[in-house]
Chain A
């Protein structure tokens, strides 16, 4: 009994393989699976086997019948859907079908990444007007009319007292004027300077940030900016702070990271110094504090500003800043 079941299974499988048309399929069904087919009639013989063998053989017969039925169904489906022909036609090397997707501008990507790092540290985001008053862009930041530091800002003017902001730092004065410490803010946005060459565009993007509270120190500034650069450039990148000058911070610092192009060995991008300047920072100048009505002996704070274009250039190896604003799709799709 057991042997004949196994033999039947083998015959059926072989027969199925040879079938190539519907008629053959129907003949197979009648021969094997029909009410009077071979499987049914074999199963009818179950009654005549020894009682103790019956459950085991019964189960085996059912398994074999189910197996043949499934194989039959598969062959039927294959035949009905065009059989082997489809499989040959279906060239799976072809690309998947998609309507495609677009991408954010690399500046937006990097700017959001910068904001996300600081937001993660509890900084709030504030944006201000692109067209500022001379007061907030300069005076409130300790840059009076005839200060030589105005040379560092090639300013576009709309009128004597209205200009295109040269940095997003005016938000520092605006927020401090409006609110009391503790404060933790970043101000992302577009800024403008009349300068245009391979490393300067007349419009670019900045993220300015500041923090004011009691007993905020230069060491804290170093801590926050170290955390930021390590997050932004992924890893324990060597970092250096060096003295600089900004009228609205003192002590002021510029922050360099080890050149991401040559790993600090010295190359064209880092002018062979091994270092790349990525941001300016410092403790908020007591003068700026006084102007917004804070007591500089009670509160201290730090501020920093960074250029988004530059960071994106370093992260992605972009060598011409003007590419950002040509909006060539061949450029945009790379990021």
Chain B
């Protein structure tokens, strides 16, 4: 809602309040001021000028050479090159002289235009930023002398205020509404533009009004004006509209717009001669009435619930939203039927939505217009039309008011006010506050409050409590802390787990990323998902912002591959990143999907991206870095499998279409897959334009809180020394080294306290088809110091078992 200070001051004195103070007061009353703008601030240097003579420019067909009087004593006239079609001798217009700056930032200089000197520029409305009119230069009253400030002549000096209106305050979608609020805090009464209103009883009227849908139209008033002369509005009216961003059209339309802004009551003017049967019928469309052309020359489809204003035969307007093209007031109109009505907010909102046709009128109707306000707005409009369009009233009007109601009366418990707000007011204080905004109050303790009709938002006691709060001032209400019973809330295990995962991964050099939950459909193809893959069954948005954000993600990895590509494009090619986020699994149409938290981690480029190339130069990340990160997670969280340990299993089956077949590890709890880690397949890498190897981990976090945790339990420190023995075994190349270690551990020799692989070697020196696996085994007894002979015994037994199991032998040398 926009208004100007000059407009506001027609109804209320704002003396003693500058625009900043006014804005502050309004904001603190709940009318949040968004913009305070000094209007036309750039026009200080623009002055009036009279064109004395005009001749053709010798070197340009469309330009003229003018001598222009600028009211400057030192020069009788200045030469101006002008291109406007309406420039002529005797025209009084506006000039920007050298040194002045136009609102668009264009600085005017003395110039030569095609060889002719021009001492400034004659301006159009658009060039001055006053309106969009760019047809020619300004045409001012010929009596105006040259050299006067244009701002002064046009009374442009004003301040525009824009309020970001909340939906509950439609009464303030009007300058009078704002004035009432100002009246409240400045202890004044507003000066309404209309004081007396005639009763419209239908006498002598030659048209009829019928409301067929009283639920949707609680009031419809209409008056007929004759001998109307359609012409441009006077400047004061145009200026008011322009100042709040509305385009002047003609006197009748401008008056309806002006009244809408003044009273908050939308009006509509019909060309009376177009109304068949001299009738207005408020009804829904008949079955055969499928379409309707609104005054913006667009044919619109009607649904049966759309409330229409009709004549005896056909619809002529979409009620409360927009008029019809055929009944519009035009230059030839002489008789006007003026409508001032009130419509059901839900119905208007539905219509404006369905037709996708929000208008200034529908904005007000869907929030609620005061039905009692109709009469004043109508009378004001009639008076202005008589004044500005030479209109005549030959008969009374019609006022159908099926929805007339008594003013609402609400009880208000003063104690309740005090308890809810944490303040301590007396009944009298509460009553006084409400009286400042035109509420009628009686009683004590439980007050009886009569609500003025324009405050349609006040329906309950709590609404009155809010009024008190804002009138007292939120900042005057004390600040206390609630007393509430102590409580120890349970922590959500999954949330806790997610926080732990974040710590483990950031500690390992991974940066956390957050991607949008919606992605493009194309990700499924880029990942190479098969037709029947469940991850193709997506939850789709009905109204996405773009194709790239059309479906809810079913995996995190594609988003992270996009992140990698972006970072590589910006020369950040050493990457460790992870995301913890939800994926969405389609369940059924019209049902909430299943939401699962997943972890996805990726790495690419240098092994230690932030470790610096000084110490780790040349080390490239590989699958073992990813595997290590995953192992660290399980170890750090002390997670174990539901039966036995969590296994990292290299698996040639159960591959993912986007994983590299030679580098694929499943993370298993028994038969349950918790996640996978792998390298991105070359095909998928190409799809994401990734040239360097990318390793990834995908983990279903929802499964982890159920896993048992290895209890923290103290074991006595060993008292006897340990003995370390190495084994270097030659085994066939196909044997996984991990299996050798696994087999050693499976022997369950209780004196083996630790075993590890410390080298795997396949190379030239090796016999063909064989590799060397070097293990180190630590022996210790809980009972005594082991001697060499005993350890040798254990060790030989172990080695022999391994050799026979894997068809291996000692590696020589």
Residues of A within 8 A of B (CB): 94-95, 97-105, 107-108, 112, 122-127, 129-133, 146-149, 151-152, 156-162, 164, 182, 184, 190, 192, 194, 196, 201-203, 211, 213, 215-220, 222-224, 226-227, 240-245, 250-254, 271, 283, 285-286, 300, 324-330, 332-333
Decide if A251 touches B349 in the complex (CB within 8 Å).
Answer: no
B80 adjacent to chain A (CB < 8 Å): no
B549 adjacent to chain A (CB < 8 Å): yes
Quote the shortest CB–CB distance from B606 to chain A (angstroms): 10
B593 adjacent to chain A (CB < 8 Å): yes
Decide if A159 touches B542 in the complex (CB within 8 Å).
Answer: yes
Decide if B510 touches A218 in the complex (CB within 8 Å).
Answer: no
Task: Find chain B residues with CB under 8 A from A242 CB.
Answer: 27-28, 30, 32, 474
B112 adjacent to chain A (CB < 8 Å): no
B462 adjacent to chain A (CB < 8 Å): yes
Known: A95-B612, A220-B422. A332 touches B511 (CB 8 A): yes
Decide if B514 touches A217 in the complex (CB within 8 Å).
Answer: no
Decide if B420 touches A300 in the complex (CB within 8 Å).
Answer: yes
B143-151, B480-488, B669-677, B784-792 - the one binding chain A: B480-488
13 pairs across A/B with beta carbons < 8 Å?
A: A102-B512, A104-B506, A105-B512, A108-B502, A124-B490, A130-B595, A131-B593, A151-B167, A162-B592, A217-B421, A219-B478, A240-B28, A250-B465
Decide if B482 touches A224 in the complex (CB within 8 Å).
Answer: yes
Known: A146-B350, A202-B516. A184 touches B421 (CB 8 A): no
Further 15 A-B residue pairs, CB within 8 A, beyond A124-B489, A159-B542: A100-B612, A102-B510, A122-B489, A125-B495, A130-B517, A162-B591, A164-B517, A164-B541, A192-B517, A240-B475, A242-B474, A251-B470, A286-B460, A329-B567, A333-B610
Digit string of B362-401 for contact with A (CB within 8 Å is 1, else 0)? 0000110000000000000000000000000000000000
Task: Find chain B residues with CB under 8 A from A226 CB.
Answer: 479
Rounded to whole angstroms, the CA-CA distance of A95 and B613 in the bound complex is: 11
Decide if B422 touches A329 in the complex (CB within 8 Å).
Answer: no
Decide if B552 touches A243 in the complex (CB within 8 Å).
Answer: no
Which residue of chain B lies nearest to A216 when distances are taken between CB atoms in the complex?
Answer: B482
Task: Find chain A residues with CB under 8 A from B563 CB.
Answer: 327
Kindly state the interface size class of chain B when it binds its partner: 35 or more
Decide if B480 touches A133 in the complex (CB within 8 Å).
Answer: no
Which residue of chain A lies nearest to B590 when distances are taken between CB atoms in the complex?
Answer: A159
Digit string of B449-482 for contact with A (CB within 8 Å is 1, else 0)? 0000000000010110110011000110111111
Quote the shortest CB–CB distance from B527 to chain A (angstroms): 19
Task: Find chain A residues with CB under 8 A from B491 CB.
Answer: 125
Decide if A211 touches B482 in the complex (CB within 8 Å).
Answer: yes
Quote the shortest CB–CB distance from B560 to chain A (angstroms): 8
Task: Find chain A residues with CB under 8 A from B477 CB.
Answer: 218-219, 222, 241
Decide if A156 touches B544 in the complex (CB within 8 Å).
Answer: yes
Digit string of B50-93 for contact with A (CB within 8 Å is 1, else 0)? 00000000000000000000000000000000000000000000
Within 8 A of A (CB), among B1-50: 27-30, 32, 34
Known: A146-B349, A241-B475, A244-B32. A223 touches B575 (CB 8 A): no
Decide if B572 touches A102 in the complex (CB within 8 Å).
Answer: no
Rounded to whole angstroms, the CA-CA distance of A201 and B489 in the bound complex is: 33
Rounded to whole angstroms, the CA-CA distance of A158 and B541 in the bound complex is: 5
Rounded to whole angstroms, the CA-CA distance of A251 and B463 in the bound complex is: 8
Rounded to whole angstroms, the CA-CA distance of A127 and B477 in the bound complex is: 32
B444 adjacent to chain A (CB < 8 Å): no
Decide if B168 touches A202 in the complex (CB within 8 Å).
Answer: no
B752 adjacent to chain A (CB < 8 Å): no
Task: Find chain A residues with CB under 8 A from B517 CB.
Answer: 130, 164, 190, 192, 203
Decide if B514 touches A129 in the complex (CB within 8 Å).
Answer: no
Digit string of B564-576 for contact with A (CB within 8 Å is 1, else 0)? 0011001010011
Decide if A105 touches B513 in the complex (CB within 8 Å).
Answer: yes
Q: Which among B166, B423, B515, B611 has the greatest number of chain A C-beta atoms within 10 A?
A: B166
Task: Find chain B residues with CB under 8 A from A254 CB.
Answer: 32
